[in-house]
Chain A
Amino acid sequence: MSLVRIEGLSKRYRQNSIVVDALSGIDLHVGKGEFLSLVGPSGSGKTTLLNLIGGLDSPTMGHIWIGDQEIGRLSKSALSRLRLQRIGFIFQEYNLIPVLSALENVEYVMLLQGVSGHERRERALAVLREVGLEDLASRRPPQLSGGQQQRVAVARAIASRPSIVLADEPTANLDSVSGAALLDLMRGLNERHGVTFLFSTHDPMVMERARRIIQLHDGRIVADKPGMGGGQGYGP
């Protein structure tokens, strides 16, 4: 069974009299353990799609299932709980709560989940070690570089053991070396722990590392092919 199942998904934005069809008729299945990249020109609908999957926004038409839950039917607070338990988010920038240290940021989600103090601390330190930031655990975000901040964001996203991590242009603000390092890190986590990643990008380097690439254009899927990072395509 697919982890994420999308059927006939459309999103229409209306601003004053201008109507924008950000997404129209998207069908997509994402399986467990995939490492999947959304690509396409600016304005093609990548962010919109990720937001809809994460339950941050609601579709105009169509359905999304995460596991066996259809997210269109969930209340606001049920959506909150779904995000808390099953989804990790990484954004392009300003991901972290600036007043909390790296460690506390990672702990934060587990704290909301109700993970007990000792286990939380152990797991957070383990994940930070995994992303190579053990030594910087007590620093606050403004004292970390952009690449380090994104690694903390990755650590935080996986620490809560979500079913899927959604990342919207996670490398866009990073130089190519840090970007590559971040992707290797995510890829490693994908391989070692089977964490499912779904991320959007403009970056050819990212595409190189993806195992499956979905190409969007004007709100439609125009291609679904295996990436250069190995693995096979997953046809609709």
Chain B
Amino acid sequence: MKLLHLAARNVLRNVRRSLITLASISLSLASLIFIWGFIDGINEQMIDNSTRYISGHIQVHQQGFHEDKALYKAMRDDPRMRARLAALPHVAAVAPRVEGKALLSGSDKSRGVMVVGVDPALEPAVTTIDRAVVAGRYLRPGDGDTIVLGDKTAAALGLGVGDQVVLITQAMDGSLGAGRYRVVGLFDSGIDVLDGSYVFLPLEAARELFVLWDRATAWVVRLEQRSRAEGMVRQMSAVLGPQYEVLDWPRLLPSMVQMVRFHEAVTYVVLLIVLVVVAIGVGNTILMAVMERTREFGVMMALGTSQAQIIAVVVAESLLLGLGGLLLGNALGVGVTGSLGETGLNLGQYTAAMETMPGLSGMVYPLVRWDHVALLSMLVFLISLIPPLYPAWRAARLAPVQAIRGLTGESARAPRSRASRSRLTGGGIFWKIAARGILRNPRRAVLTTGATAFGLAAFLFLYAFADGFFEQMIGNSTGYLTGDLQVERQGFRDELSPGLVITDPDVVLERLRSYPQVRAAAPRIKVQAMVSSPTATEPLLLHGVVPQLEQQVTVLQRALIAGEYLSGDLPRGMVVGSKLMNKLGLELGEKLVVTVQLADGSLGSAAYRVVGVFKTGNELFDGSLGLIGLAPAQALLGYGNGEVSTIAVALRDRGQVSEVVSGLRRSLADTSYEVQSWEQLLPVVVQMIDLTKLDFYVVLGVVFAVVAMGVMNTLLMSVLERTREFGVMMAMGTQPWQILRIVIYESVILGLAGIAAGILMGLLLVVYYQGQGMNLAAFADITEAIPGMTATVYPLLMPAHVWLPTLVLFLTGVLAALYPAARAARLEPVRAIRHV
């Protein structure tokens, strides 16, 4: 008890020092709690919205349907069986559905969509898309051929409530199914995938379209609590028997679960870095606070205090400060996170990026998870307990007289007789005092420099990783698909409408080739289509190309794994992605049928033979891209000879794209053509870059705070320690601003050393992984779903991206020195001299 009393006194004695320690513990903990809460919130929202709007918590299918969603595997919709499921405990509701893919056409445009046939009476008890209707109404019992669209789909096709649309699909029996429907409502869930590619029909209308009488592809189940899903799967399987498969949401939404896992993995890396930076920052502060007192421990030992008692006092003090920091940090972190969880955090400027992630909208509701808060609290508490043991243990082992003399480390060094032959010059003396002042306590300087260096290195590496990631996305996407820029008719991009053609491609090509920056240009036809094999129908992004020209702009030919590229000898040949081949169940050399909507709204179709298969390693390209010759494409779409839909351009250097685009725009201003840079052609890539930047700002913020804290603590302590010395200097006529200069110079030296070390560490990491490549195979499902990505990332350090944060980091350190410097300069000489 006596000990605790003494510890409490010590804590209170140097209020400023205790406050610094307390603040560094509690602010660090609070920011960790917030970061984790922010990310938990995003993950929870992704899962919650995805299950709530579309998948439900559990789905029941005919055995084998999940593997291969062929319509003939739809089950009989047995109402008694459904009723038995609904009667099970914890089940809130069950609804039947018919789902399948189809091509949705408005007056002159079309796109592939997911058709969901729902029972208007039962569905709202299971999912909540009915509550997201923003125009018109949701489906009603008794509705006939009606349809509800997402707002993005409607906008893309230029549709509104009351308009007529056509759905075309391959029905269960292999026939071409088609139906005409009236749009009764539009929904806006804020989630891109839903709003842009899901449409809802009444159940009976969908059964008619797909020729699935009496059948359902799925029974969708909502539970009272999502967390019961796993247990309920076993119970339902037992009730239903082996001809059914019962799947909970993680199996229904594997790509979202992957996305959440990927995000969690990124989170752990970020948290780990932040934790280490915080550990160094907090540890440093506490370490210095104890080291500063070596003399005091010496006096205590001289008075007969035992080594064990000294360590015990320090531990008791750290306990008090650690507990205080824990309380404050939790109050602050949980308070801020919790209240933002109520109001939501509006990331308006990242909205577009967030909405492309499944289940996310622009509002983030951070989530306080007590298990995470407890884990963080424990870690930070440990971090605050361990560092003080070292100096206490060291001090306790010293002979009292050494301890009283203090641990300057200077007395141990050999005299350096030649060293001071160097001349003192006007400003030089202050640099000299500053530099040697830092070296006086090398351990402290190393700690501070280390914290700065580690934070910077972590930041540089993360940024290089991201730049490598983005470079690969951009490089592959432009190299395989888009080229660096494209010229097309105004408005063509929105829905690849076949009516918008370039009628004089030779004139445009002529103009393009007059630019020295242009390496190659190729005319193309580009259209959304459906492709069918005898067993399946899939959406297809069809390109009609001139093989010789196309191979100068894109390099898809390099990704061929079977057969050959298009050539004039094979007029009805087609090159197809490997994933799409699997989905269609086709082999090289087999035939497939392509169906498109023509400019006049009618359907056109033609058969081709697969002459080549490519595999880029990216899901999007391999799963939905197909190439045919330009002339066959013109024939399919009924274009005149020489009419194309776009011209893809490759530059000698992608960096010149904005220059070329603005020049071209001027030169094409008198035509109805527009120019799109790769940024406009690949909005998802740009959005992902934005989203990742958000994560970086969080890391950067923490690094800055920790560096500022570290530099300020170091200098504050070293200023307090040298109070008397500054007093003597002032007595000798040194002006306050000269003292200020010394302290600022010290921060400059510390900052430069930290930054140099940080850049070195960061560079070493980057260079190492540049040779190696970072293997993200564990997340392959996710990375491959991102346009242009494969599973190996090569980090790329772009000085243009990191010089500013580095500079700001340096200035942060110098700014943090202002307070201790001002304190030193404001010292009253008498007081300073009395201070020992």
Residues of A within 8 A of B (CB): 51, 54, 56-57, 76-77, 80-85, 87-89, 91, 94-101, 103-104, 107-109, 111-113, 117, 120-121, 137-140, 142-143, 156
Q: A95-B728, A97-B728, A142-B411 are in contact. Are A103 and B733 (CB under 8 A)?
A: no
Residues of A contacting B408 with CB < 8 Å?
A: 98, 142
Partner of B830, one of A57, A84, A95, A111: A57
B415 at the interface (CB under 8 A from A): yes
B230 at the interface (CB under 8 A from A): no
Select from chain B the residue with minimum beta-carbon distance to A153: B728
B833 at the interface (CB under 8 A from A): yes
B736 at the interface (CB under 8 A from A): yes
Give the contacts of B518-541 with A (CB-CB under 8 A): none
B672 at the interface (CB under 8 A from A): no
B733 touches A111 (CB 8 A): no
Residues of B contacting A84 with CB < 8 Å?
A: 732-734
Q: A94-B725, A98-B408, A99-B433 are in contact. Are A104 and B420 (CB under 8 A)?
A: yes
Residues of A contacting B734 with CB < 8 Å?
A: 80, 84, 112
Q: Kindly state the separation between the CA atoms of A87 and B423 in the bound complex, as whole angstroms.
A: 25
B429 touches A51 (CB 8 A): no
B731 touches A54 (CB 8 A): yes
Q: Kindly state the separation between the CA atoms of A34 and B220 in the bound complex, as whole angstroms.
A: 106
Q: Kindly state the separation between the CA atoms of A103 and B432 in the bound complex, as whole angstroms.
A: 14
Distance to closest chain A CB from B836 (angstroms): 8
Partner of B433, one of A56, A97, A137: A97
Residues of A contacting B830 with CB < 8 Å?
A: 51, 56-57
> Which of B433, B733, B735 has most chain A Cβ within 10 Å?
B733
Distance to closest chain B CB from A215 (angstroms): 23
Distance to closest chain B CB from A195 (angstroms): 16
Partner of B420, one of A56, A97, A98, A101: A101
B13 at the interface (CB under 8 A from A): no
Between A and B, 12 residue pairs with Cβ closer than 8 Å are: A56-B833, A80-B735, A80-B736, A83-B732, A97-B729, A99-B432, A99-B439, A100-B432, A101-B419, A117-B424, A120-B424, A138-B416
Select from chain B the residue with minimum beta-carbon distance to A117: B423
Select from chain B the residue with minimum beta-carbon distance to A83: B733
Residues of A contacting B423 with CB < 8 Å?
A: 117, 121
A83 touches B731 (CB 8 A): yes
Q: A77-B735, A83-B731, A109-B732 are in contact. Are A97 and B725 (CB under 8 A)?
A: yes
Residues of A contacting B415 with CB < 8 Å?
A: 138-140, 143
Majority DSSP secondary structure for residues of A touching B: helix
Q: Kindly state the separation between the CA atoms of A140 and B439 in the bound complex, as whole angstroms.
A: 13
Partner of A99, one of B437, B731, B836: B437
Q: Kindly state the separation between the CA atoms of A109 and B828 in the bound complex, as whole angstroms.
A: 19
A111 touches B424 (CB 8 A): yes
Residues of A contacting B420 with CB < 8 Å?
A: 100-101, 103-104, 137-138
Select from chain A the residue with minimum beta-carbon distance to B729: A97
A104 touches B424 (CB 8 A): yes
B411 touches A108 (CB 8 A): no
Q: A80-B735, A121-B423, A138-B416 are in contact. Are A99 and B436 (CB under 8 A)?
A: yes
Distance to closest chain B CB from A87 (angstroms): 8
Give the contacts of B706-728 with A (CB-CB under 8 A): 724-725, 728
A140 touches B731 (CB 8 A): no
B243 at the interface (CB under 8 A from A): no
Select from chain A the residue with minimum beta-carbon distance to B727: A56
Residues of B contacting A56 with CB < 8 Å?
A: 730-731, 829-830, 833
The count of residues in chain B whose C-beta lies closer than 8 Å to any C-beta of chain A is 38
Q: Kindly state the separation between the CA atoms of A104 and B727 in the bound complex, as whole angstroms.
A: 18
Partner of B733, one of A81, A104, A117, A138: A81
B421 touches A140 (CB 8 A): no
B433 touches A80 (CB 8 A): no
Select from chain A the residue with minimum beta-carbon distance to B405: A142
Majority DSSP secondary structure for residues of B touching A: helix
Distance to closest chain A CB from B108 (angstroms): 82
Give the contacts of B779-836 with A (CB-CB under 8 A): 828-830, 833, 836
A89 touches B724 (CB 8 A): no
B2 at the interface (CB under 8 A from A): no
Residues of B within 8 A of A (CB): 408, 410-411, 415-421, 423-426, 429, 432-433, 436-437, 439-440, 724-725, 728-736, 738, 828-830, 833, 836
Partner of A111, one of B419, B429, B440: B429
Distance to closest chain A CB from B210 (angstroms): 85
Select from chain B the residue with minimum beta-carbon distance to A110: B424
Q: A56-B829, A99-B440, A100-B432 are in contact. Are A89 and B731 (CB under 8 A)?
A: yes
B410 touches A94 (CB 8 A): no
Q: Kindly state the separation between the CA atoms of A76 and B408 in the bound complex, as whole angstroms.
A: 32
Residues of B contacting A142 with CB < 8 Å?
A: 408, 410-411
Residues of B contacting A103 with CB < 8 Å?
A: 420
Residues of A contacting B440 with CB < 8 Å?
A: 98-99
Residues of B contacting A80 with CB < 8 Å?
A: 730, 733-736
B725 touches A98 (CB 8 A): yes
Partner of A91, one of B432, B437, B730, B833: B833
Residues of B contacting A57 with CB < 8 Å?
A: 828-830
A94 touches B429 (CB 8 A): no
Distance to closest chain A CB from B695 (angstroms): 43
Given known contacts A57-B829, A94-B728, A109-B732, what 19 new A-B pairs fall within 8 Å (CB)? Answer: A56-B730, A56-B830, A77-B736, A83-B733, A84-B734, A88-B732, A89-B728, A89-B732, A94-B724, A96-B728, A98-B410, A108-B732, A111-B426, A111-B429, A117-B424, A117-B425, A138-B415, A138-B416, A139-B415
Residues of B contacting A111 with CB < 8 Å?
A: 424, 426, 429
Q: Kindly state the separation between the CA atoms of A97 and B726 in the bound complex, as whole angstroms.
A: 9
Partner of B436, one of A87, A100, A139: A100
Q: Kindly state the separation between the CA atoms of A91 and B829 in the bound complex, as whole angstroms.
A: 13
Distance to closest chain B CB from A159 (angstroms): 11
Select from chain B the residue with minimum beta-carbon distance to A88: B732
B417 touches A138 (CB 8 A): yes
Distance to closest chain A CB from B829 (angstroms): 4
Q: Kindly state the separation between the CA atoms of A101 and B422 in the bound complex, as whole angstroms.
A: 11
Residues of A contacting B732 with CB < 8 Å?
A: 83-84, 88-89, 108-109, 112, 156
Select from chain B the residue with minimum beta-carbon distance to A107: B424
Residues of B contacting A85 with CB < 8 Å?
A: 733
Select from chain B the residue with minimum beta-carbon distance to A139: B415
Q: Kindly state the separation between the CA atoms of A91 and B735 in the bound complex, as whole angstroms.
A: 19
Residues of A contacting B729 with CB < 8 Å?
A: 97
Distance to closest chain B CB from A123 (angstroms): 13
Residues of A contacting B426 with CB < 8 Å?
A: 111
Residues of A contacting B724 with CB < 8 Å?
A: 94
A108 touches B429 (CB 8 A): yes
Q: Kindly state the separation between the CA atoms of A84 and B731 in the bound complex, as whole angstroms.
A: 8
Select from chain A the residue with minimum beta-carbon distance to B832: A56
Residues of B contacting A143 with CB < 8 Å?
A: 411, 415
Distance to closest chain B CB from A112 (angstroms): 6
Q: Kindly state the separation between the CA atoms of A82 and B724 in the bound complex, as whole angstroms.
A: 20
4 nearest A-B pairs in the assembled complex, by CB-CB distance: A84-B733, A99-B436, A101-B420, A83-B733
Q: Kindly state the separation between the CA atoms of A236 and B533 in the bound complex, as whole angstroms.
A: 121
Select from chain A the residue with minimum beta-carbon distance to B438: A99
Residues of A contacting B419 with CB < 8 Å?
A: 101, 138
Q: Kindly state the separation between the CA atoms of A89 and B724 in the bound complex, as whole angstroms.
A: 14
Q: Kindly state the separation between the CA atoms of A56 and B429 in the bound complex, as whole angstroms.
A: 24
Q: Kindly state the separation between the CA atoms of A36 and B384 in the bound complex, as whole angstroms.
A: 55
A100 touches B735 (CB 8 A): no
Q: Kindly state the separation between the CA atoms of A81 and B735 in the bound complex, as whole angstroms.
A: 8
Q: Kindly state the separation between the CA atoms of A121 and B411 in the bound complex, as whole angstroms.
A: 26
Distance to closest chain B CB from A23 (angstroms): 13
Distance to closest chain A CB from B437 (angstroms): 5
Distance to closest chain A CB from B731 (angstroms): 4
Select from chain B the residue with minimum beta-carbon distance to A108: B429
Residues of A contacting B432 with CB < 8 Å?
A: 99-100, 104
Residues of B contacting A94 with CB < 8 Å?
A: 724-725, 728, 836
Residues of B contacting A96 with CB < 8 Å?
A: 728
Q: Kindly state the separation between the CA atoms of A80 and B733 in the bound complex, as whole angstroms.
A: 5
Residues of A contacting B738 with CB < 8 Å?
A: 112
